[in-house]
Structure 1
Amino acid sequence: MTGRTPLRAQLERVATTSRYYRRQWDELGWRPGDEFTALPFTTKADYQRSLENSPPYGDFLAVPREKVARVHFSSGTTGRPTPVAWTRDDLDRWAELYARAAYSQGVRPGDVYQCLFSFAWFVGGLGGTLGYTELGATVIPGGSGDTERQIDTIFRYGTTAVGGTPSFLLHLADRARALGRPLNESGVRHVMTGGEPGGAVPATRELIEREWGARCFDGYGCLEFQPIAWECEAQAGGHLNEDFVHAEVVDPVTHAPVPDGAEGVLVLTHLDKQACPLVRWWTGDVVALDRTPCACGRIDARLAGGVRGRADDMLVVRGVNVFPSAVENVVRRTVGDLAEFRVVLDPSLADPATGYPTALRLQVEAAAEGELPAKLATALRAELQVRAVVDIVAPGQLPRTTHKARRVVRASDEREVPHRVP
């Protein structure tokens, strides 16, 4: 058939290869060519139930098992790790998209790329090595451990580009400065972040760029969709890979589409994934689309401000929607430097009728208390319109991570730390 869109062609393939969708669509009486938005969303819970019913790969696998070239897993922090499969062609596609992103950020053959994403089960590390190898860079697969060796390697081998989570990149910068080898004196000129929203948080981006002496670019992907969007040299929001994913942005409650520029949950459909194609996948990530022309000349829609947060991480404080990334931006600009912080869900600050917080409780590391709690609380009130109770803790008291920072904890999960600097 001529004139088929990539979405229509993918749906026709999925209808014949995916047991999960074939069964669901038969029950609905739906066929490719019918109204696309009549299909239900696919959720993580759907995927996990499929794995339980048809272990170990589930009914979403759309190729014979012998065609599976790679399997990556979720972190498994909330249950059994979730596998997602790739074919050889899927891996080639992944590498091409990653290489395209790096090229748009100014990386070229001859650059030395040190991958600081984890390689232990996590999906990011091998994605980075695939893409930068495809581009023609010299690749050093460092991972997210051995901090002092990573720093020495950066200087010894002339690393010019790195990729990692903002948490680990700032941890490296802190340690390098303590060792008398500040990273802004290294040869690194390109920093690509992923795994957390920090790279799209203005104050955190500025901090990374200052500490590394390099430009910082935000990247966005997830286990099920790799990669989704990456910033170009204009640093004006990640360009969606619209030849790889069909994107919708919907209201988190009504599920109706929202206009460009409005916040909503990103819903994705693969356009050419073979091993594990997903249709109307509910990412849970809150974004806003920007379709205005980019200075780089690319025409793909961009994620204005990156990923704003997770729909299930959003805090409602007296009717105000607050994401941890917005809190991070205020903390970084007010406290400065490499301050660690976290939001504690404190029952004493919750409305007894609804359970929603009436104020935020923050723990923030600082060398001295002084006027800082009042200053930070005032900044949060002015910029986010929420009241905050700020506890200053001694430097080094809050947990560090080389992977993804946990910014929101419940009081019951809180590790004992001194609430005031002595």
Structure 2
Amino acid sequence: MSEMWNPILETMALDDLRAYQLDQFREQVEHAKDDSPFYAEKLSGISPDDITSLADVRELPTTTKDELREAQREGDGLYGDLLAEDAESVVSYHQTSGTTGRPVRQADSLPDWEWWTDSWATVLWAQGVRPDDRVFLPFSYSVFVAFWAAHAAAERIGAEVIPGGGMSSAQRVEKIETLDPTVVAVTPTYAFRLAEVAEQEGIDLAETAIETVVCAGEPGASVPSTKDELEALWGADVYDHAGATEAGAWGFACDGDTLGLHFNEARFLVEVLDGDDEPVGPGETGRLVVTPLNRSAQPYVRSELKDRIRLAEESCDCGRTFRVTDGGVLGREDEFRTINGTLLSPRAVEDVVHGYDPVTNEFRVRIEDHPEKDLDTLELRVEADGEYDYDADRIATELDKELKKRTHLSFDVDVSSPGTLDRNELKSDRFTDARTRRTQYEQ
């Protein structure tokens, strides 16, 4: 049995892969321009015949989420001017979470849904999911695409799927213990929550049948300290995955020696660009622009995802020719904060907190105006881990020292008792920017 879902595409020679991507991109542009009112206007004056190399791709404008919202607000019908097929072809409705604004509605046709399941099957197969696995999805799927697609992809592989909606966390832990699933797909936040509930119920998740934890929704599984902690709690291999409703499952970790994400370059044209819209090189960081290839009902061309990515300097040893990142998603551009002239990465704070054993994995950061000076203040709230005999002052001092080394910023650390901070099933909103003014340094 192959180690890859589609070994022909995943190991294609680079020149052939780039030629394949160029051909697919031109077809996507032609379809979007001819059939989507939004792109007919946006790409007016552009001919697919003018795109003769991947360098020409950068001559096309990018697409922002604000543009998508506006096109759906101003256009007719549920999907506005974004729809590129008759509404009768739509078989699946999903939407973005709306955390950064009005949700974008996503229409998918039957071929689109097959594309979704193939993309997700690539993720699951690379992370060891096989037909003899039993996959548990401990969520109510709602209108969000990720777990619907993961469910369908696991079935496409031939695995058995246990849907976990409509249950409490304790009931889900009980299902893990009694039904013996071998794979769980979950956000890192909820993986920690289930481990916490399991401990309260007297259940050691490391002793269950779970062998693989597939993470999605947050970059935690590519943060070394977070990944290590989850693997210890679950006694399982932990893998990361990245995607977006409007783009698809564009990135996945494999079982190679690289702590990063492969771009699924068979299904996506992925660009990592600097501030001048030029491609970054290995070891360099840029923003992510993604074009899903072969998407029909609601196509996108050069979608700005606002994710920050660093390209790895070396290839992965798994045999795939797909490019790989150095670590996972570093954060979203709108999540980074400039504090007193220094750029703060949420991921750096997470790595420090999750790597410091005397506290739990939950934390909150609050940014406020200094009461007397034209400066910003940083407060970090953490929970003491009861297993360690550390007083609050020691925890605060040691955490502030480590954070200062990593971020070059000083934190006012507040230490609470275990269970004080709220837990979430999906993504944790750990950063609050309560500043009412912006310093001269703020971008």
Q: Structure 2 length as normaliser, TM-score?
A: 0.87
Match of 2:229 among 203, 207, 210: 207
Aligned position for 1:23: 41
Check the 8 A contact 1:169/1:208 in 2, yes or no.
yes
Query: CA separation in 1, counterparts of 2:312 and 2:340?
Result: 29
Query: CA separation in 1, counterparts of 2:353 and 2:335?
Result: 18
Unaligned runs of 5+ in 2: 1-18, 51-55, 437-443
Query: CA separation in 2, counterparts of 1:126 and 1:335?
Result: 35
Match of 2:382 among 344, 364, 369: 364
Q: 1:144 to 1:127 in 2, by over 3 A?
A: farther
State the shift of 1:383 in Å.
2.1
What is the letter of the counterpart of residue 30 of structure 1? I
Check the 8 A contact 1:144/1:402 in 2, yes or no.
no
Aligned position for 2:73: 52
State the shift of 1:258 in Å.
2.2
What is the letter of the counterpart of residue 232 of structure 1? C
Report Cα offsets for 1:281-335 as digits up to 9, x if no partner.
Answer: 1101101223632111111011221000010110223433221111000011124
Kindly report which structure 2 residues correspond to 1:232-271, keeping only aligned pairs within 5 A, or say none.
232-234=254-256, 236-251=259-274, 253-271=275-293
Check the 8 A contact 1:203/1:329 in 2, yes or no.
yes
Check the 8 A contact 1:244/1:272 in 2, yes or no.
yes
SS of the residue 1:63 aligns to: coil
Aligned position for 2:8: none
Check the 8 A contact 2:134/2:161 in 1, yes or no.
yes
Q: 1:145 to 1:403 in 2, by over 3 A?
A: farther
1:198 aligned to 2:220? yes
Q: 1:339 to 1:291 in 2, by over 3 A?
A: closer
Query: CA separation in 2, counterparts of 1:300 and 1:400?
Result: 36
Report Cα offsets for 1:63-111 as digits up to 9, x if no partner.
Answer: 1100111010122345443211111111112112212221111121111
What is the letter of the counterpart of residue 26 of structure 2? R
Query: CA separation in 1, counterparts of 2:25 and 2:138?
Result: 34
Query: CA separation in 2, counterparts of 1:79 and 1:103?
Result: 34
Match of 1:12 among 25, 30, 40: 30
Query: CA separation in 2, counterparts of 1:279 and 1:117?
Result: 31
Q: 1:132 to 1:338 in 2, by over 3 A?
A: farther
Check the 8 A contact 2:403/2:410 in 1, yes or no.
yes
Deviates most, 207-216 or 376-385: 376-385
State the shift of 1:41 in Å.
1.4
Aligned position for 1:63: 85
Q: 1:278 to 1:205 in 2, by over 3 A?
A: same
1:282 aligned to 2:298? no
Kindly report which structure 2 residues correspond to 1:354-393, keeping only aligned pairs within 5 A, or say none.
357=376, 359-366=377-384, 367=386, 368-393=391-416
Match of 1:36 among 48, 57, 80: 57
Kindly report which structure 2 residues correspond to 1:289-328, keeping only aligned pairs within 5 A, or say none.
289-290=311-312, 292-328=314-350
What is the letter of the counterpart of residue 246 of structure 1? L
Structure 1 runs, 4 residues or longer, greater than 6 Å off? none
Query: CA separation in 2, counterparts of 1:233 and 1:173?
Result: 23
Unaligned runs of 5+ in 1: 414-422
Query: CA separation in 1, counterparts of 2:185 and 2:141?
Result: 13
Check the 8 A contact 1:291/1:301 in 2, yes or no.
no
Aligned position for 1:418: none
Q: 1:177 to 1:262 in 2, by over 3 A?
A: same
Query: CA separation in 1, counterparts of 2:212 and 2:312?
Result: 24
What is the letter of the counterpart of residue 412 of structure 2? V
**Superposed CA RMSD:** 2.1
Check the 8 A contact 1:63/1:274 in 2, yes or no.
yes
Deviates most, 232-241 or 168-177: 232-241
SS of the residue 1:303 aligns to: coil
State the shift of 1:47 in Å.
0.2
Query: CA separation in 1, counterparts of 2:218 and 2:74?
Result: 32
Aligned position for 1:334: 356
What is the letter of the counterpart of residue 232 of structure 2? R
Deviates most, 200-209 or 232-241: 232-241
Aligned position for 1:403: 426
What is the letter of the counterpart of residue 353 of structure 2? V
Matched residues, number = 405
Q: 1:106 to 1:284 in 2, by over 3 A?
A: same
Deviates most, 366-375 or 297-306: 366-375
The structure whose RCO (Cα within 8 Å, separation 6+) is larger is 2
What is the letter of the counterpart of residue 304 of structure 2? W
Aligned position for 1:115: 137
Match of 2:192 among 152, 170, 179: 170
Query: CA separation in 2, counterparts of 1:341 and 1:188?
Result: 27
SS of the residue 1:274 aligns to: coil
Query: CA separation in 1, counterparts of 2:327 and 2:364?
Result: 21
Q: 1:271 to 1:6 in 2, by over 3 A?
A: same
Report Cα offsets for 1:345-403 as digits up to 9, x if no partner.
Answer: 11128972xx7x3x532111115413010100100111222222211122222121111
Match of 2:127 among 85, 105, 112: 105
Report Cα offsets for 1:197-219 as digits up to 9, x if no partner.
Answer: 11111111111101000000001
